[in-house]
Structure 1
Amino acid sequence: MKKIVLLLLFFSLYYGQNIFAQKRTVSGLVTSADDKRPLSGVSIKVKGLDEGAVTNTDGSFQIVIRNGKYLVFSFVGYDSQEVEIDGTTQFNISLKPSGNALNEVQIVGSRNANRTKINSASPVDVIDIKPLLESSPQVSVTQILQYVSPSFHSVNGSNAGDAGSALSLAQLRGLGPDQVLVLVNGKRRHKSANVNYGGLGNGSTGYDLNSIPTGSIDRIEILRDGAAAQYGSDAIAGVINIVLKKNTGDLVVNSTGSVRKRGDGAVTRTNANYGVAIGDNGGYINATVEYGTQAIALPAGNSTAGLYNGPIYGGGANTRGYDAIYTQAIDEAILKARGIDRHFFDQRGGGANAGQDALLFFNAAVPLKQSAEIYAFGGISSRNSQFTATYRLPGWTSRNNNFIYPDGFLPAMENNIVDASLAAGIRGKVNGWNVDLSNVYGKNNFGNRVDNSLNASLGLTSPTSFDDGSYNASQNTASLDFSRYFNKVLKGLNIAFGVQDRVESFQIKAGELASYQKGDQRNIYNVDTTASGLTYLSAAGTTSLNGLAAGSQIHLGFQPANAVSVSRSITAGYADVELNVTQAWLVSAAGREEYYTDFGNVFTYKVASRYSFDRWLNIRGSINTGFRAPDLAQSYYTSISTTFQQGRGVDILTASNQSAAARALGIPKLSPERSKGYALGLTSEPIGNVEITVDAYQIDVANRIGNTGSFTSTDNNLPADVKNLFQQTGAAQANFFYNEFSTRTRGIEFTGSYKVLLNNGSITFLAGGNFDKNTVTKVNTPKGLDAYKNVILSASERARVTTNIPAQKINFQGIYSTGKYTFLARTVYFGKVTTATLLSAADPLNPVYYYQNLHSIWVTDISAGYKFTSKLQGTIGVNNLFNILGDYSSPVIAGLRNPTVVGIQNGSAGIQPFIRLTAHF
């Protein structure tokens, strides 16, 4: 509560001195010069100020003026017009269509270029990136959205395991990372090749939003409603559309540095954006380069968080406490003799991985004759991320070789992620129709290298660095889209339709032999005799001579048997109709048919409506069906990773859904997830410059894909093929991808904004909240596995989809600009969560879990900016001003290490001051 009070007091100091400043209201009507029809969604701004207004559905507008000499009217497809205010209070403006009147997706969720977020039939957030890049502490796309969008959730990827730690996946309305679709400039973007392991979104693939430089983004549109009928697979929870910059003539350089309270986890991020005009008819090329670094971070919390307090050099370390034979005094004597202390064995990666990013993006368009243009956008990024796992102590005789690492070792997984994309197309008018022909290609490649490690089973011959192999995913999408607005059909009819062909591929490349080899395997032979009595030897399999861990520690390399190269084709057709039955009543409908070469046809639809009683009240609602096609990676991915259960290292196999072992268990091949969504809401502009939206929703998703819990090698009831899988890989546990459960998500969300132009500046208040509840409505237990229902959907996986994401999130933010100063203050509420951690799988049918409740937290940010000149601004501020850490992990879970901050609500590791410079050249 004190954060809210602080926020209100903070802004009242500045708002109060200007609230009674002299002001006047001007109003008017904006129409199209060619057909005299009213234009809704036209932007009206006071020249020199950022804030303004937009026209209503009838073309009318009203704006409060406190200072300024000119009004600027701008709208897509029309020439901008500037008029002098002088003493005029009523304006009738007629905008002329531009010579290059092209239809763009201005607001995601509608293919009508006149649509705005307030008069849309579905809830849409439009987030202007510019003020956030100047004032907010966050520098990555996902973290910027985490602190401004109440329905959006993402935490730093190090809360996941292995390669998943390199990503910060996006989630909407509490659903999975693979149930949200990402577009760039209205075109489908390709996914990451990685299958997330551990953490939120376990077993899912998602979009690597952080491969797009923040400096290249003009705004981000978030459609908070199902839209598979409009855009295709994945759009169950909603759609995120990233709109790139296209401005010219202004070189902007933005550089940020921050560090944590303990001096660790330093972050730097610098980007430069510049655009060049092409010709005299609106052509442009806008390019952005960005470079960032992330230093290694300590575990969140106090200076002893994560400190190991059990046996270090004794045999069987981390499997038991000290005993009468091996005492702590012995450990301390060895540590002293070696000149180190217990902090030498601290874990790293406490909420942030070490890494560096280099990104390049561009956006371009060249006008042609007869209202057409060629356009292109895309980029390439190279991102390196280092994930360090649990320290392998010198006493771990099965996982360490003391001749190579006398003090044990901290293995590091080095992920090199190369992401490339290119979109190109031509769009224009043909016989009154807007036509858009495009092709978008994208590829994401994950290279895996393990350093400072060893293959214990190879003994002294083991290397300490390994090439673990790589995997990649690509997508090529060709589209032909048509749309047209008929202004004489009732009060306006917009028709859009199109076809699409998409090819997706997934590939795994094997690592080097030492990265997966079981070096102590030896052949076993039986002694037998022939019918004539001759003795001979017959092969009887293999056995481990010493039981030492195989493969590179932290993550085993991909074996040749894991290597795959697969692809599929998808063809689709859609139709999208939007009709203004009256000036107040809008109805829309969309249908989409898709054909997948690997599982057949899918049809989805959506209907929506909005009724405007007046400016102060619009009612809207929608019904939609959706689907998510299983990703190729989920069908074919296989890997072995090490996890720690009560201090014991356990190698877990993630087995391919296509494997013989999956069929032997009775697990079928993956099929699409299906969804039904319902929404009902209202929007309101009760007074000038105030916008309010409230929307309730329900989303039912059937047959969701996830990772099963772990089947154990000691379970004698498993089929022979599954037992052979354990024998071949050396893994102790295995899980599988499967359409294992169905869920229902219910929630309500609200947004509000208040914009005020002041005598010498402006103030913007934003508020938002999302309150949802996820429940599992069904568990799909394969035939013959009824006894394994607690393994098919494990308690930890159930928690990930129901209680690991805050069910309540509230945002309050204000930005105040006056003269040379800009101030930001905001506070974000993250609701309580509950985790479920596996303690023991000794009983294969009833694994034991520990549940921990993590209380709600408020995280507050502040910043202050100063313009040294009109071209140079400096900003200082703090993320997590009050150093809110959240709850520490339970000692039961921590085992022989001190508890650390869990951090799955917001990924915060405590207070983090920052400094930023923004320069225009």
Structure 2
Amino acid sequence: MRFLILVNMFLLFVYGGYGQQRTLTGTVRSEIDGQPLVGVSVIVKGLGGGVVTKEDGSYSIGITNARRLIFSFIGYQTQEVTLGASNTIDVSLLKSNRTLDEVQIVGSRNANRTKLNSPVPVDVIDIKTLQETAPQVSVTQLLQYISPSFHSSVSGGGDAASATSTVQLRGLGVDQVLVLINGKRRHKSSNISWGGLGNGATGYDLNAIPTGAIERIEILRDGAAAQYGSDAIAGVINIVLKQNTDALTLNTTASSRRRGDGISTRTSTNYGVKLGDRGGFFNITGEFATQSVSRPVGHDSVGLYIGPAYGGGANTRGFDQIYTKEIDDAILASRGIDRHFFDQRGSTNKAIDGLLFFNALVPLKENVELYAFGGISHRNSQFTAVYRLPGWTERNNTFIYPDGFLPAMENIITDKSLGIGIKGRIRGWTVDFSNVYGKNDFGNEITNSLNASMGQRSPRKFDAGNYNASQNTASLDFNRYFDQVLKGLNIAFGSQYRVETYQIIAGEEASYSKADLQPIYRVDTTTAGLPYLVNLGSTPLNGLSPGSQVHAGFRPSNEVNVRRSIAAAYADVELNLTSKWLVSGALRLEHYSDFGSVTTYKANTRYSFVNWLALRGGINTGFRAPDLAQFYYTETSTTFQNGVAIDQVTANNVNPATKALGIPSLQPEKSKGYTAGLTSQPVPNVEFTVDAYQIDVDDRVGNTGRFSATDQNLPLDVRNLFIQTGTVQAKFFYNSFSTRTRGIELTGSYNFLLENGGRATFLVGANFLKTKLTKVNTPAGLEAYRYIIFDASEEARVTSNIPAQKITLQGTYRYQKFNILLRTVYFGKVTNVSQLNANFPQPDYYYQTFSPIWITDLSAGYQFTSKIQATIGANNLFNVLGDYTIPAPGSNVSRIPGPGSTQAGTTTGIQPFVRLSAIF
């Protein structure tokens, strides 16, 4: 039904769009010498796409109901021409004051490249338009609903991961995509994600960048490690910051969920000023956002606690003949509470974000300019875990919390970045020297909690320690375009030197201690018969859970302060053999201080058969070094298997237990990718692309399954790890598997002007992919642990936990002061796998497949004055929630289940919103 509504809307636009069509022709020349300019962009004002001028400066463009043409070219001032009766329009462009004003599309270092004549698939997304009309406000959610190959999700693992929204392209990992700011490498989050897309990986937290600071986002859907360096296996996301001046922009949005909970707000302010009269600028953006606690979506009883609360071994079994529901209800009544007292929270954290970003450029003299960009964000995000019930005797102390407690984890996230560079032109070469620094810091504070093993001596609040990661990248880049070599040659080359650091700082002792451990001694005697004690280790006395509940703190033995350096050199060449045939290639050499050297390459070609049809394709190799966090991160946490709380430890790659078990040291991931596709402009104002791809990734880094403390065959160091941490299961980082991903991507757009002056746009995008497992790397000597080394839940995470099909349909219409957006997005089915136990040699799992869903957004805006616009609408207009979770047969069900699928990245239900935008 929703699909038909959007299609009918589109057909209505098309019907209304058929007016008088005509073809405009002309020639564009330089005003200085009268020479024709090739590659000038010619578009109809208000529409995207357009055409570019040929070798003789000529162009031909079909129009319908158009009023103005815009001519733009690198190094020249943009010119806008009002149309008259003539079908011939010749234009002379003036030189720009900024001689280095080169706007490059990611994937090419040729300033004349556009997304349609690029040999690789590139999406260029105008954030300004989306920020005015779309229901979403964060960077990740805006892209989630507009880009078919992009996927983002709040981690299902909870803890610190729920404070970030990691991103991925083409179904690959969150650490297999590279993010750039203004074309420069950005630093990653220091946090290891658990659950969801990024299990055991660090990714980019795009929500640390204010939406109001972004001009556009370019998404390169192709491997580009040879061009931009490690991590770019699936593609590259380039965020281009605003440069506008002499305008103050305000934008504020508020939204709520169905029951009035989960209220979120985001307010941004952007302002720019000119610096001098040669194109200099300083643009600054401030943004403030809040997120309130939300209830679980679904019917009003979802998440309601229905199991034993005050006794009966509440976390190990249900009601029985001794401890009945009647007894439990009587205790609840005597305490003056009901079962809603133990309700779960929903899918969002309580959060407060403050962000500040800037972008600046100062021309120093002719052909030389200084630029800088960066910012700081400070965010507080509170995650609450599963309610610790009063009857959970090994996790609660009823003298401290008679009715149990809801532990909370406060993440204090500080993100800082600064890029500075100088660009100049020397003998025809553009030379760019830059240095970009970034650091991400995660603090972990546990509140409303306890360390059960300490008894009544336990604090309620804990400093669980913190961790941080930084990256400093110095680059020297050279670029030049030779227009006299065949039909145009662009050469780029350069070098980089990057330093990465990672640090873990221990928390207070109470946050990690196992207070009931006692040493075990054996009495032995010397040869002279003198008795002495031999320390045999330690043993827990009471079985109470160690450390702060929700997240145990880092131990002094977990502390690390490590760094590595990476040196790189690259060459990138694009050659137009003819006016129709483009070939390009890149080669990159990188040397890691901890891995040695690696070489990656890329080759692409594009051939235009006719003006409206071109084929493109290529091959590339990629490389991703394991992040320092994957080497050195260790944590102790609580997971739930079949409704039972289980304490588990994640041991890092240098832990003695890891070595004793036989897990090899981490190695780099390597990839090979292939693409083939076509681009087309079959009729005026219509663009269409189709691209097929295959990406093979060998030796991907992931987490093993869980080794159990009940396994007496495990080495002594592993069994000691269980005792020291008070855990019963352990997992490890390892290059455990290889995959092959195949897919097809489609994008299309149709822009047109109506006779009444209205403007309409229809967008379509789709991605159909399939990832399969090609190899499992079982270490020698651990063959019996094959299904624990790489378990079914990890396989599902990389093959079926995200939609294999995603389709986006969007229509917008603007008429005078009124605008409307209607969009529907199809998210394909997903399969979730829950681990029920840690049985050897193969644990038991429960599988559930969740049906596809359509999520529909609607918004309508009205411009009250030339400066003020208001917009109202809703995300998920029809309150689509997807399938409800079906508990595993025989499982210990203690809460009424709700919607279990998160194909769209998070399950929120309908979210009405209101927005006010102003520009002065």
- TM-score (norm: length of structure 2): 0.97
SS in 1 for 2:513: coil
Q: 1:492 aligns with which of 484, 488, 499?
A: 488
- How many Å separate the matches in 1 of 2:573 and 2:690? 25
Report deviation, 1:542: 1.6
Match of 1:131 in 2: 129
SS in 2 for 1:320: coil
Over 3 Å counting, the alpha-carbon distance change for 1:576 and 1:724 in structure 2 is same
Q: Which stretch shifts more, 22-31 or 257-266?
A: 22-31
Count of residue correspondences: 914
Q: Show the 5 A alignment for 1:140-151.
A: 140-151=138-149
Match of 1:334 in 2: 331
Counterpart check, 1:707 vs 2:703: yes
Counterpart check, 1:5 vs 2:4: yes
Q: 1:747 aligns with which of 733, 743, 761?
A: 743
Q: Which stretch shifts more, 884-893 or 557-566?
A: 884-893
- How many Å separate the matches in 1 of 2:873 and 2:774? 45
Q: 1:73 aligns with which of 53, 56, 71?
A: 71
Q: Show the 5 A alignment for 1:611-626.
A: 611-626=607-622
Over 3 Å counting, the alpha-carbon distance change for 1:20 and 1:904 in structure 2 is closer
Task: Tell whether the 8 Å contact from 2:10 to 2:762 is kept in structure 1 after alignment.
Answer: no
Counterpart check, 1:528 vs 2:524: yes
Structure 2: 5+ residue stretches without partners: none
Counterpart check, 1:764 vs 2:764: no
Match of 2:828 in 1: 831
SS in 2 for 1:612: strand
CA deviation profile, 1:11-32 (whole Å, cap 9, x unmatched): 455654x424455442333345
CA deviation profile, 1:425-472 (whole Å, cap 9, x unmatched): 011211100110000000000001111100001111101111000000
Q: Show the 5 A alignment for 1:504-583.
A: 504-583=500-579
SS in 2 for 1:333: helix
Task: Tell whether the 8 Å contact from 1:69 to 1:85 is kept in structure 2 after alignment.
Answer: yes
Task: Tell whether the 8 Å contact from 1:32 to 1:39 is kept in structure 2 after alignment.
Answer: no
Structure 1: 5+ residue stretches without partners: none
Match of 2:884 in 1: 888
Match of 1:461 in 2: 457
SS in 1 for 2:657: helix
Q: Which stretch shifts more, 651-660 or 526-535?
A: 526-535
Report deviation, 1:845: 1.4
SS in 1 for 2:328: helix
Match of 2:188 in 1: 191
Task: Tell whether the 8 Å contact from 1:510 to 1:558 is kept in structure 2 after alignment.
Answer: yes
Q: 2:656 aligns with which of 635, 654, 660?
A: 660
CA deviation profile, 1:523-555 (whole Å, cap 9, x unmatched): 222233444444444333222121111100011
- How many Å separate the matches in 2 of 1:52 and 1:644? 52
CA deviation profile, 1:711-749 (whole Å, cap 9, x unmatched): 111111111221121122111111111111100000001
Q: Which stretch shifts more, 720-729 or 80-89?
A: 80-89
Match of 1:245 in 2: 242
Q: Show the 5 A alignment for 1:618-637.
A: 618-637=614-633
Report deviation, 1:693: 0.1
Over 3 Å counting, the alpha-carbon distance change for 1:473 and 1:41 in structure 2 is farther
Over 3 Å counting, the alpha-carbon distance change for 1:154 and 1:372 in structure 2 is same
Task: Tell whether the 8 Å contact from 2:40 to 2:72 is kept in structure 1 after alignment.
Answer: no
Counterpart check, 1:211 vs 2:208: yes
CA deviation profile, 1:277-301 (whole Å, cap 9, x unmatched): 1111111011110000111111121
Match of 2:913 in 1: 914
Q: Show the 5 A alignment for 1:387-402.
A: 387-402=383-398
Give the aligned CA root-mean-square deviation in angstroms: 1.6
Counterpart check, 1:864 vs 2:860: yes
Q: 1:584 aligns with which of 570, 580, 591?
A: 580
Q: 2:306 aligns with which of 270, 286, 309?
A: 309
Q: 1:222 aligns with which of 196, 219, 223?
A: 219
- How many Å separate the matches in 2 of 1:686 and 1:855? 36
Task: Tell whether the 8 Å contact from 1:39 to 1:114 is kept in structure 2 after alignment.
Answer: no
SS in 2 for 1:870: coil
Task: Tell whether the 8 Å contact from 2:430 to 2:478 is kept in structure 1 after alignment.
Answer: yes
Q: Which stretch shifts more, 563-572 or 317-326?
A: 317-326
CA deviation profile, 1:102-146 (whole Å, cap 9, x unmatched): 164521000000000000000000001111101110000000000
Over 3 Å counting, the alpha-carbon distance change for 1:69 and 1:198 in structure 2 is closer
Report deviation, 1:585: 0.2
- How many Å separate the matches in 2 of 1:894 and 1:211? 39
- How many Å separate the matches in 2 of 1:214 and 1:107? 20
- Aligned amino acid, residue 126 of structure 2: D
CA deviation profile, 1:644-699 (whole Å, cap 9, x unmatched): 11122111111111122211122111111000000000000000000000000000
- Aligned amino acid, residue 222 of structure 1: I
- Aligned amino acid, residue 4 of structure 1: F
Task: Tell whether the 8 Å contact from 1:53 to 1:689 is kept in structure 2 after alignment.
Answer: yes
CA deviation profile, 1:227-275 (whole Å, cap 9, x unmatched): 0000000000000000011001111100000000021111101001111
- How many Å separate the matches in 1 of 2:767 and 2:597? 34
Counterpart check, 1:109 vs 2:107: yes
CA deviation profile, 1:292-334 (whole Å, cap 9, x unmatched): 0111111121111121211000141021111111111111111
CA deviation profile, 1:802-843 (whole Å, cap 9, x unmatched): 0001000000001100011000001000000111110011x2
Task: Tell whether the 8 Å contact from 1:497 to 1:576 is kept in structure 2 after alignment.
Answer: yes
Match of 1:175 in 2: 172
- How many Å separate the matches in 2 of 1:251 and 1:317? 58
Match of 1:370 in 2: 366
- How many Å separate the matches in 1 of 2:864 and 2:769? 45
SS in 1 for 2:113: coil
Match of 1:502 in 2: 498
- How many Å separate the matches in 1 of 2:358 and 2:160? 28
SS in 2 for 1:200: helix
Match of 1:300 in 2: 297
SS in 2 for 1:177: coil
SS in 2 for 1:155: strand
Q: Which stretch shifts more, 517-526 or 86-95?
A: 86-95
SS in 2 for 1:132: helix
Task: Tell whether the 8 Å contact from 1:100 to 1:372 is kept in structure 2 after alignment.
Answer: no
Counterpart check, 1:436 vs 2:435: no
- Aligned amino acid, residue 173 of structure 1: R
SS in 1 for 2:443: strand
- How many Å separate the matches in 2 of 1:37 and 1:740? 58
Match of 2:471 in 1: 475
Report deviation, 1:574: 0.2
CA deviation profile, 1:71-119 (whole Å, cap 9, x unmatched): 3322232122233423232123233432322164521000000000000
Over 3 Å counting, the alpha-carbon distance change for 1:340 and 1:113 in structure 2 is same
- How many Å separate the matches in 1 of 2:758 and 2:636? 57
Q: Which stretch shifts more, 350-359 or 31-40?
A: 31-40
Task: Tell whether the 8 Å contact from 1:351 to 1:903 is kept in structure 2 after alignment.
Answer: no
Task: Tell whether the 8 Å contact from 2:447 to 2:461 is kept in structure 1 after alignment.
Answer: yes
SS in 2 for 1:246: coil
SS in 2 for 1:91: coil
SS in 1 for 2:175: helix
Task: Tell whether the 8 Å contact from 2:361 to 2:371 is kept in structure 1 after alignment.
Answer: yes
Task: Tell whether the 8 Å contact from 1:891 to 1:898 is kept in structure 2 after alignment.
Answer: no
Q: Percent identity?
A: 63
SS in 1 for 2:370: strand
Over 3 Å counting, the alpha-carbon distance change for 1:299 and 1:537 in structure 2 is same
CA deviation profile, 1:779-812 (whole Å, cap 9, x unmatched): 0000101111111111000000000010000000
Counterpart check, 1:287 vs 2:262: no
CA deviation profile, 1:195-227 (whole Å, cap 9, x unmatched): 111222201110010000000001000000000
- TM-score (norm: length of structure 1): 0.97
SS in 2 for 1:766: strand
Match of 1:19 in 2: 17
